[in-house]
Amino acid sequence: MTEYPNKDLSFRENEDFQKNAVRKLKALKKQVALGGGEKVIEKHHARGKMTARERIDALRDPETPFLEIGLYTAHGMYEDYGGAPSAGTVFGIGKVHGRDVVIVANDATVKAGAWFPLTCKKNLRAQEISMENRLPIVYLVDSAGVFLPLQNEVFPDKEHFGRIFRNNAVMSSLGIPQIAAIMGPCVAGGAYLPIMSDEAMIVEGTGSVFLAGAHLVKAAIGEVIDNEELGGARVHNQISGVVDYRMPDDKTTLATIRDIISKLGESGKAGFNRVDAVPPAYKPSDIYGLIPRDRTKPYDVREILKCIVDDNELVEYKAEYGQTVLTVYARINGWAVGIVANQRLIVTNGKGEMQIGGVIYSDSADKAARFILNCNQKKMPLIFLQDVTGFMVGSRAEHGGIIKDGAKMVNAVANSTVPKITIITGNSFGAGNYAMCGKAYDPRFIFSWPTSQIAVMGGSQASNTLLSIRLGQLKKQGKKITDEDRQHLLDTIQKQYEEQMDPLYAAARLWVDGIIDPAETRDVISHCLEIVSNNPDVPRFNPGVIQT
């Protein structure tokens, strides 16, 4: 591994810009990780309870990586209710006795672990990852139940609260081990989650589980009883038999879960090709200087790949054809992969025509579709690096069949059966997001860099389009618009649109699984590849109808 050789002034300016974005992100990460704040954590400890993050750390193997998903969920949302950092739930994939396990922990320092709408979405994402990758899942339950002011957004729909219990049943039928620990309140419909798991345990003195708490029982049937006698640890171990183990404290509970997982049988691997890893050609941190701070400037994505893939393991497929999309066979930390990456250089096609970087043309779409088919034939996971402004438009593109070729690429992405991992490195606009395996196309994991943008189109084009619509509406109302009014409207629209393009906006809504440090891209992809290899079932690729 060597350093990138041309660290000129432009490189250093780019590097400073990217590092500053990463510093801001790490500061926010530290703040979000505190959940409800230090004072609430102290009260939590005073009751003899560990926090959600402390429980996860005690459960997983020491000194092993933890791939957290949805750290920034609900960021900037629910502010009318005091906010909900990480949507009151911490989850990710960690090692327990060397085995990958999905761990979900309610954060009771945030509104007593109540379920907001995005808490529900986040828990469903945890179950989706468990099912897709055939990973055991552990639920560390400590929740006051649905956040009632927003119950209409949590309770009745297909992707709401009830879907979680439906998934419990489906996961059981798939043979996916589910272990639950009731480490605090577990109320109403939420009571079904731990009890529909394969094994459930409860912590003496702090854990309780019931369909209705003492206050509701009194209101409903007039019975006077306290929560411990209604649904505490002794009741559900000695009388109801609802739970399987009674635990004296958090520490013993987590040790018992580790012991159960240590005895799970093996279910096989996917069999993806892997050899001994070779370091990349350039240091991963050189990525900082290779991405222009001005997102309109071109750059060679091959240089980025040299910071990610194993050295001398990059082979371009159709290198001289459809050059605005790179398709390469490579290895990342020894794993054989196919990479589809947007090329930001201005290039010339075989007809001598100039093509704009970051735009998908007919030849690029055709090449990518064929490459995706090849990777499925070879049983190679696919990595998508998105920096795309969309498909080419205009009469020449339309007459050349851009819709047909674009559909061909989207079809191949949609029907691909090998695991797909997406990294949004820059722009992710319009149908380019779809063709490059955005969230709607079922990537096993999807992350973005701190300076990425996700939107239906670029900020300038969108703002001017929205301005035209607004001016038209005002004109119909008979209002006279001055140049000053027009500029104020444009500024307001641009500000709102820029906020919605921010990766934090996407991460808050779980459009992406998280925002990662660009220098950690190689490690994150490698970790994801190890996780996806746990599912031995890779169906045969059926491309559907792809017009030639």
Q: What value does the mean pLDDT take over residues 14-21?
A: 96
Residue 459: CB partners within 8 Å, gap ≥ 6? Answer: 453, 494, 497, 498, 501
Angle formed at CA 381 by CA 376 and CA 384, multiple of 5 degrees:
105
**DSSP per-residue letters across 409-474:** HHHHHHH--S-EEEEEEEEEEHHHHHHTT-GGG--SEEEE-TT-EEESS-HHHHHHHHHHHHHHHH
Quote the percentage of the chain above a pLDDT of 90: 73
Q: Is the pLDDT of residue 458 over 80?
A: no
For residue 368, pLDDT beyond 70: yes
> Residue 189 gets which letter from DSSP?
G
From CA 321, how far away is CA 133, in angstroms rounded? 35
Check pLDDT > 90 for residue 466.
no
Least confident piece of the model among 95-99, 223-227, 277-281, 474-478: 474-478
Task: Please state whether beta strands 382-388 and 335-342 pair in parallel, antiparallel, or not at all (unpaired).
Answer: parallel
Residue with the larger pLDDT of the pair 189 and 198? 198
Residue 179 sits at the vertex; the CA angle it makes with 175 and 185, to the nearest 5 degrees, is 140
Question: For residue 501, what pLDDT is reported?
Answer: 87
Q: With left for phi above 0 and alpha for psi between -120 and 50, is residue 145 left, alpha or beta?
A: left
Run of H or E including 202: strand 199-203
Among 176-190, 298-312, 434-448, 477-491, the minimum mean pLDDT is found in 477-491
| pLDDT, position 479 | 81
- Relative to beta strand 354-355, strand 335-342 is unpaired
Do 529 and 383 contact (CB within 8 A), yes or no?
A: no
Among 319-328, 394-403, 406-415, 426-435, name the one with the lowest average pLDDT. 394-403
Which residue from 66, 87, 104, 25 is spatially nearest to 516, judged by alpha carbons?
Answer: 25
Categorize the per-residue pLDDT at 98 as very low, low, confident or very high, splitting at 50, 70 and 90: very high
Residue 366, exposed/middle/buried by CB under 10 A (0-12, 13-18, 19+)?
buried
Contact 179, 139 (CB under 8 A): yes
16/20 Cα distance (integer angstroms): 6
Q: Is the distance from CB of 35 to CB of 41 less than 8 angstroms? A: yes
Concatenated DSSP letters for 475-525?
HHTT----HHHHHHHHHHHHHHHHHHHSHHHHHHTTSSSEE--GGGHHHHH
| Mean pLDDT across 432-460 | 91
Q: What is the distance of C-alpha 467 from the center of its chain?
A: 33
pLDDT at residue 545 tops 70: no
305 pLDDT above the threshold of 70: yes
The average pLDDT across 247-255 equals 97
Mean pLDDT of 511-539: 97
Q: Model pTM?
A: 0.93
Q: Are 33 and 57 in contact (CB under 8 A)?
A: no
What's the mean pLDDT in 371-377?
96
- pLDDT, position 213: 78
Determine if residue 197 is left, alpha or beta; phi over 0 gives left, psi from -120 to 50 gives alpha, anything else beta. beta
- Answer yes or no: is pLDDT of 147 > 90: no
Kindly report, residue by residue over 470-492, the tens digit of the pLDDT. Answer: 777 877 888 877 878 777 777 77
Distances (CA, A) of 513 to 31, 273, 335, 448, 540: 18, 26, 22, 8, 27
Q: Which two tokens stand for residue 227?
A: 């929560």
Question: What pLDDT digit, counting tens, does each position of 316-356 carry?
Answer: 999 999 999 999 999 999 999 999 999 999 998 888 888 99
User: Quick one: tokens of 512?
Assistant: 């992406």
Work out the average pLDDT over 137-149. Answer: 91
Arithmetic mean of pLDDT, 403-428:
95
On the question of pLDDT at 515 being above 80, the answer is yes
What pLDDT digit, counting tens, does each position of 61-94 carry? 999 999 999 999 999 999 999 999 999 999 999 9
Predicted confidence at residue 491, as pLDDT, reads 77
Q: Which of 507, 272, 276, 447 is nearest to 375 (CA)?
A: 272
pLDDT at 546: 58
Going by C-beta distance under 8 Å and a sequence separation of 6 or more, which residues neighbour residue 250? Answer: 48, 49, 50, 55, 58, 183, 203, 206
pLDDT band at 463 (very low <50, low <70, confident <90, very high): low
Which pLDDT does position 215 carry in this prediction?
81
- For the chain, what percent of residues have pLDDT higher than 70? 97
Cβ contact 52:90 at 8 Å = yes
pLDDT of residue 457: 66
Q: Give the pLDDT confidence score for residue 381 in this predicted structure.
A: 98
Query: In which element (H, E) is residue 195 found?
Result: helix 192-195
For residue 541, what pLDDT band results from cuts at 50, 70 and 90? confident
Instruction: Average the pLDDT over each of 280-284, 421-425, 491-495, 508-512 and give the range with the smallest value.
Output: 491-495
Name the helix (H) or strand (E) containing 398. Answer: helix 395-399
With residues binned 3-state (H G I as helix, E B as strand, rest as coil), the percentages for the chain, rounded to 5, are 45, 20, 35
Block residue for tokens 């980025």 = 304
CB-based contacts of 241, cutoff 8 Å, min separation 6: none
State the pLDDT confidence band at 158, using cuts at 50, 70 and 90. confident
Contact status, residue 453 vs residue 503, Cβ threshold 8 Å: yes
Q: What is the mean pLDDT of the chain?
A: 92
Please say if the pLDDT value at position 189 is more than 80. no
* pLDDT > 80? residue 426: yes
pLDDT digits 0-9 by tens, 24-66: 999 999 999 999 999 999 999 999 999 999 999 999 999 999 9
